[in-house]
Amino acid sequence: MARVALVTGGSRGIGAAISKALKDAGYTVAANYAGNDEAAAKFTAETGIQTYKWSVADYEACKAGIAAVEADLGPVDILVNNAGITRDAMFHRMTPEQWREVLDTNLSGLFNMTHPLWPGMRERKFGRVISISSINGQKGQMGQANYSAAKAGDIGFTKALAQEGARAGITVNAICPGYIATDMVMAVPEKVRESIIAQIPVGRLGEPEEIARCVVFLASDDSGFITGSTLTSNGGQYLA
Ligand code: NDP
């Protein structure tokens, strides 16, 4: 039977590309999303991938959502923690709410999703936890103290959990994309986007599919000796 993969934020942007690539690679895929029903319905119509709505920032909602996915599709062996948000502001203007929202989704979301799935992965002696961090968690980014802190936290989470999962056949890895052409980046004013592209040695934004292919590799049996690692895919912008 095909392994089941659950992708958070899996109906738009990088997550949608990941969901599709995992489906093409033969996995049974469930895509979670937060609130954009229209995008989720369109995604399901186009791909046949089932979508499930809950917030990764809410631990009880994650438990209930995962239970629904597992009742429909079977035990989840591959978790892709992709859901993420930005609430950018220079630090002197950043509100406690902007801090909390980003930390709750981009960092606590990893705990909320991985914790309920962990016992099953340990019992079955197989698991893949793949989390989408960011170049800005590696190098820091002005205007993103909240986002950079959360994304750096994702890498620490990955390294710690990799050690706990190793003997149980669970690998835990992070991917750090550079700037990728999704709604998140296209929402940035064009002038700023041009200045970002000027800093990327390959001279272009990345494509969501380029991150999806990294996920497919880390989900596969071929990657069983890779754990606790950070795979950077950023066009040479930051050499981590
Ligand atoms: P998008 O804004 O295009 O999509 C974000 C997805 O996450 C949506 O599906 C959204 O759901 C979902 N989401 C947001 N909050 C929650 C939540 N609380 N619970 C469940 N789902 C949620 O983002 P990208 O595709 O650009 O980014 C995907 C990931 O990659 C993020 O973690 C981001 O930080 C990271 N990243 C992105 C980069 C880029 O250049 N784009 C660079 C480096 C990292 P809904 O559709 O319902 O709104």
Q: Determine whether the shortest distance from the Cβ of 84 to ligand 1 is under 6 A.
A: yes
CB 46 within 8 A of CB 22: no
Q: Candidates 6, 7, 11, 12: which one to mutate for ligand 1, based on the most atoms within 8 Å of Cβ?
A: 12
Rounded to the nearest 10 degrees, what angle do helices 145-165 and 96-106 cross at?
30
- Write out the E strands in 43-89: 50-53, 76-81
* CA-wise closest residue to 51 among 29, 70, 30, 37: 30
CATH class, range 4-231: alpha beta
Ligand 1 centre and the CA of 184: distance in Å? 7
Identify whether the C-beta of residue 32 lies closer than 8 Å to the C-beta of residue 107: no
Give the mean pLDDT of 126-146.
98
In tens, the pLDDT along 167-218 reads: 999 999 999 999 999 988 888 899 999 999 999 999 999 999 999 999 999 9
DSSP secondary structure letter of residue 226: -
pLDDT tens for 38-49 read 999 999 999 999
39 lines ligand 1 (CB under 6 A): yes
Closest CA to 72 of 40, 35, 29: 29
For residue 213, the Cα-to-chain-centroid distance in whole angstroms is: 13
Is 238 among the residues known to form the active site?
no
The DSSP element (H or E) to which 194 belongs, if any, is helix 190-198
Separation of CA 84 and ligand 1 centre (Å): 4
Q: What value does the mean pLDDT take over residues 50-59?
A: 98
Considering the chain, what percentage of its residues have pLDDT values greater than 70?
100
The number of angstroms, rounded, from the C-alpha of 109 to the middle of its chain's C-alpha atoms is 10
Distance from residue 82's CA to the centre of ligand 1 (Å): 6
Measured CA to CA, the distance from residue 160 to residue 101 in angstroms comes to 24
Indicate if the pLDDT at residue 13 is higher than 90.
yes
With tokens 């590309």, the residue in question is 17
Give the tens place of pLDDT for each residue, 75-124.
999 999 999 999 999 999 999 999 999 999 999 999 999 999 999 999 99
Q: What is the pLDDT of residue 185?
A: 87
pLDDT of the residue at 20: 98
Question: Does 8 contact ligand 1 (Cβ within 6 A)?
Answer: yes
Q: How far apart are CA 233 and CA 188, in angstroms?
A: 20
Which of 33, 52, 147, 179 is flagged as catalytic? 147
Does residue 183 have its Cβ closer than 6 Å to ligand 1? yes
First to last CA, the chain: 38
